[in-house]
Structure 1
Amino acid sequence: MTRIASVNVNGIRAAARKGMAGWIESSGVDILTIQEVRGQLEHLEAVLPGWHIFEEESPQKGRAGVAIASREPAIAHRTGLGEGVDAQGRWLEADFQIGDRVVTVVSAYVHSGEVDTPKQDAKWLFLDAMASRLPQLGEYAVVTGDLNVGHREFDIKNWKGNVSRAGFLARERAYFDQFLGAAGEPVVGQFSGSRGKVGELSDTRPYAAGRTGLGFVDVGRAFAGEVEGPFSWWSNRGQAFDKDTGWRIDYHLATPALAALVEGYRVDRYPSYDTRWSDHAPVVADYAL
């Protein structure tokens, strides 16, 4: 069994000060993908002594940054999503030889975006590049990380209040319809017709038109079923964490062959607000490798 976990640490040095090392020690994780490192390799090595670590730093100091740490060394790694895409510090791939399989693990940090601004334009380009890259990852692959989109109404506690905001825009969600649609089949999209006028705003069908499914599996949704959450991020405002008013924006998106090997999945929600070491919780999956 291989345990793969993903977490947006909201700054590796801050997470370390708040107790991340304790979770690492008890988690039993074999491969850990990290987003929003906001630091250098030396800061990762201080938290993960003895691990094999790749990092893709952001050119903007104190921003973004992704990493992959593993108990056993990877056999290869790659960065970037192609020319013209702002993916530096946001996309890192590593290949691992596990038994007779080569497994590709991705640490991804999608732009948060902001409606009608250049930030959202960068997000569209990134999601387009993801759609092109996913089919190229190989038979056994998983894209993990903070993907900054709640795919379905189950994925955001207050979905009605967020249909016009980045992170739950119909056009954003249509990309996930494509990522998770049946491979090679036309993407239909989703419509919340039973939810009334507000629900109509979450209609992804116009944006799904012309797309072809890529066949990936949302491990979290497949394992948890058709239920609210489990959420992985909570705003620091108000009592969002205490009331579990969260978003499920941290994912394991796996190829069918790898998804078929999932033996367990969980979100390591913190016991209390004051024990959190990030505003995101680790997302952990066990694969029969």
Structure 2
Amino acid sequence: MSHTITSVNVNGIRAAVRKGMLDWLATSGADVICLQETRATDDEVLSCLGPALDGGRQGAGWHLVSAEPSVKGRNGVAILSRTPAESIRIGFGDAEFDDSGRYIEARYPAVGADPAVTVASLYLPSGEVGTEKQASKERFMAAFAHHLDVSGSSGEHHVVCGDWNIAHTELDLKNWKGNRTKSGFLASERAWLDSFIGETGAWTDVVRALHPDQDGPYSWWSYRGKAFDNDAGWRIDYQMATTDYADRAKDAVVERADSYDLRWSDHAPVTVVYR
């Protein structure tokens, strides 16, 4: 048996649906899909995805759980699944960020040979060096590190999917030399990722583990200029799995659109098959 998980920043659920997201969703073979940056209330997400849900939050199609943002038009995360979650959690226990629409997790029971697993959708803040945005990002990172420590040492299977807004290594963005002093590729941010992934960490960057020497595969390209056409992207959308569950990952792909005009987000879906 296999379990397929997809993660994608939709860059606004209403815009994504207008541009063709539902066509993509109709052909997806995923069991769980994590969405970030919905920029919508729970009811608006439900309305946008209504056809895929067969008219209801727990319809015959996908099952939906979502965490709306406290600030209108910002953030927002959600999870779609073929089977309902047995439990959900919004936020990770930090008062500053729990109602910001940046984190939701859902636990799915064991089915056949597939073990129980908790899947999370994360939208880590973007930053800007020397501003409160960067300070807020760093506060989030510090608080979230504690949550990762607890989850990673629980002995249970976890996958944290989402837009982490950090490129980890020089392989993870095309123009790394020009971004060394910018948020998203700061040495301190990259060291933060180092602290919990890799040989000594409790977590594995699943796509990088399966593509150890490849540039990218990039998952975000600016809408400006020819970034997409030239594949001048960033790999900032990750599936971080606890090590035992990461060992089950057999295939990973970034579902890059065939052409610029077929994109329904500036991010591409990142899909991993776990067996």
State TM-score, norm by structure 1.
0.86
Please tell me whether residue 131 in structure 1 is matched to residue 131 in structure 2: no
TM-align CA RMSD: 1.3
Question: Which AA in structure 1 matches 2:44?
Answer: H
Residue among 218, 223, 232 paired with 2:210? 223
Q: Which residue number corresponds to residue 30 of structure 2? A: 29
8 Å CA contact 1:94, 1:104 repeated in 2 = yes
| Superposition deviation, residue 98 in structure 1 | 2.6
Q: Which residue number corresponds to residue 130 of structure 2? A: 116
Q: Which residue number corresponds to residue 56 of structure 2? A: none
What is the rounded CA distance, in whole Å, between the counterparts of 2:209 and 2:199 in structure 1? 14
Please tell me whether residue 82 in structure 1 is matched to residue 105 in structure 2: no
Residue pairs, 1:237-248, within 5 angstroms:
237-248=224-235
Please tell me whether residue 166 in structure 1 is matched to residue 183 in structure 2: yes
Please tell me whether residue 175 in structure 1 is matched to residue 176 in structure 2: no
Q: Deviations over 1:121-156 (max 9, x none)?
A: 111111112211113224211110000000000001
What is the rounded CA distance, in whole Å, between the counterparts of 2:30 and 2:147 in structure 1? 26
Q: Which residue number corresponds to residue 107 of structure 2? A: 95
| Superposition deviation, residue 81 in structure 1 | 2.6
Q: What SS does the aligned partner of 1:33 have?
A: strand
State TM-score, norm by structure 2.
0.90
The gaps in structure 2 that reach 5 residues or longer are 54-60
The gaps in structure 1 that reach 5 residues or longer are 184-213
Please tell me whether residue 72 in structure 1 is matched to residue 83 in structure 2: yes
What is the rounded CA distance, in whole Å, between the counterparts of 1:82 and 1:161 in structure 2? 36
Q: What SS does the aligned partner of 1:263 have?
A: strand
8 Å CA contact 1:12, 1:38 repeated in 2 = yes
| Superposition deviation, residue 182 in structure 1 | 3.4
Q: Which residue number corresponds to residue 7 of structure 2? A: 6
Please tell me whether residue 61 in structure 1 is matched to residue 75 in structure 2: no
Q: Which residue number corresponds to residue 277 of structure 1? A: 264
Of residues 157-166 and 214-223 in structure 1, the stretch that sits farther from structure 2 once superposed is: 214-223
> How many equivalent residue pairs?
258
8 Å CA contact 2:70, 2:101 repeated in 1 = yes
Q: Which residue number corresponds to residue 210 of structure 1? A: none
Q: What SS does the aligned partner of 2:43 have?
A: helix
Q: Which residue number corresponds to residue 44 of structure 2? A: 43
What is the rounded CA distance, in whole Å, between the counterparts of 2:4 and 2:44 in structure 1? 23
Percentage identity across paired residues of the two chains: 49
What is the rounded CA distance, in whole Å, between the counterparts of 1:156 and 1:85 in structure 2? 30
Q: What SS does the aligned partner of 2:116 have?
A: strand
Q: Deviations over 1:16-62 (max 9, x none)?
A: 00001111111211101000001123333342313211111111111
